[in-house]
Amino acid sequence: MNFEKFEKEFSNLANLFKNEGFYKKPSNFEIDLYGKFLGYNFEVKIITSRLESEINEFIVLNNSFLESFRNGHEPSLAKTEELITTLSKIQLDLSDFYIHTRIFLDTLNVCIKYSFKSAGNKKWNIMTNSITGLLNERKIRTYKKEIDSQFFGGLENKISWIRYLKDSRDNLLHKYHHFVFTDTRQGEMGYDLIGKIGRIWGTETVKPMLKELQSFLDNISDLMGYLHKKLPRI
């Protein structure tokens, strides 16, 4: 995983909150909010590092299984348990990525809210605390009208991908019985849902796992870059 862009934009936004934004004269709530914002930087690196290691381990184990079957041998129970354990770790850490990323996006939304409060906007409190408020057409129209049309208009272009992240998370959590791990055409670790109506399951639809997570991190970086440039200062 490449964190260069993410680290740059995260640092810029953290410094804005600290030096020019809502954390400049923080309440107890805002101290806690800033801490939650900072926490994601560590969480996402821990989770993705584990996933990278687990995926590499799974590929080695899976190849060993395939080789055993090709040679007419049945893998040992210990190797079978090791493969299942590694796959379970991948599933858990992938779930963690989606859960902690969603929490972070909600945290960013509240950071936006308190930035407008600190800048003296009297309508700041009409914003909901959840990121879904920014994805709701009626709510964001209200934010444009009541808070800042230019800011929220530009923000719309930076958050459309969140719907796809939400769909990926929902598929993992709520359609687990259809969830499978398999290889992409390039031999990367990927995943897909079997039994999708009107679609053929297989390597054409498999999503490379780490590439998808990287795309989400890049989108978060772009979002943080926008906030750094456009959020009101105290």
Q: DSSP strand E in the chain: where?
A: 179-183, 189-193, 207-208
Distance CA 138, CA 103 (A): 23
CB proximity list for 70: less than 8 A, separation 6 or greater: none
Q: What is the pLDDT of residues 142-186, one digit of tens each?
A: 999 999 999 999 999 899 999 988 887 777 776 655 556 666 555
User: SS3 for 73?
Assistant: coil
Residue 59 has φ and ψ, to the nearest 5°, of -60, -45
Q: Assess whether pLDDT exceeds 80 at residue 63.
A: no
Distance CA 229, CA 231 (A): 6
CA 202 to chain centre: 25
Distance CA 147, CA 187 (A): 49
Q: What is the pLDDT of residues 101-158, one digit of tens each?
A: 999 999 999 999 999 999 999 999 999 999 999 999 999 999 999 999 999 999 998 9
Q: Assess whether pLDDT exceeds 60 at residue 204.
A: no
Q: What is the pLDDT of residues 6-56, one digit of tens each?
A: 999 999 999 999 999 999 889 999 999 999 999 999 999 999 999 999 888
